[in-house]
Amino acid sequence: MATRARSEERRAEILRAALEVIAERGYRGASLAAVAERVGLTQQGLLHYFPTKEALLIAVLEERDQWDSVPDSQWRLDLLGSLVEYNAMRRGIVQTFSALLGESVAEGHPAREFFTRRYAAVRGSMAQVLRAEYGDRLPGGLTPEQAAPLMVAVMDGLQFQWLLDPDAVDMPDAFRDFLRLLSGD
């Protein structure tokens, strides 16, 4: 049991180090070697915890989802605007998410299952948030289940435009425009 606890602690330490490396060097610079060095492991030692770069990055994204998560009953639409604002200040992790999402669309990619599962869950949560705010019909006439995939799509799509050209796209502002569109104001 003590060994197991130590191992979990080590795993958590590696994820924090990976997040730091990602923030500093971006997706491309987040090599297993760089992460291993930061936690004082050999690359071989790191492979014991995460056998590939993809496995490590998926674990980082899963961990971020945990930290970002809000109990479904607590979610409000305006919190989403704040989340997008917050994301605009942590470029490295957004870049990692977007790059891995792109890779995952190829058949057999190790991140495919993570994203497929994640999107089903996120669409479900968003539909709940929208239903709590608007009931069974949004002001524009859509149901929460129709609006949820659009909301998720806007968040992801804006991230790509913003990563490519941050001066041309104000991501938080654009997302708030979308929320306004939904609200029918």
Note the residues at the interface with its own copies (CB under 8 A): 26-28, 95, 98-108, 112, 115-116, 119-120, 123, 140-142, 146-147, 149-150, 152-158, 160-161, 163-165, 168-169, 174, 177-178, 180-182, 184-185
- Which residue's CB is nearer to its own copies, number 27 or number 49? 27
**Distance in Å, CB of 7 to its own copies, minimum:** 32
Shortest separation between residue 142's beta carbon and its own copies, angstroms: 6
Residue 13 or 156 having the CB closest to its own copies: 156
> Least distance in Å: CB of 81 to its own copies?
14
* DSSP per residue, 100-123: HHHHHTSTT-TTHHHHHHHHHHHH
Euclidean distance between CA atoms 26 and 113, whole angstroms = 23
Buried b / exposed e over 65-94, threshold 16 CB at 10 Å, is: eeeeeeeeeebebeebbebbeebbeebbbb
d(C-alpha 134, C-alpha 132), whole Å:
6
Nearer to its own copies, 13 or 170 (CB): 170
Q: In whole angstroms, how close is the CB of 9 to its own copies at the nearest point?
A: 31
The span from the CA of 157 to the CA of 102, in Å, is 11
- 8 Å CB contact between 94 and 87: yes
Q: Which is nearer to its own copies, 14 or 84 (CB)?
A: 84
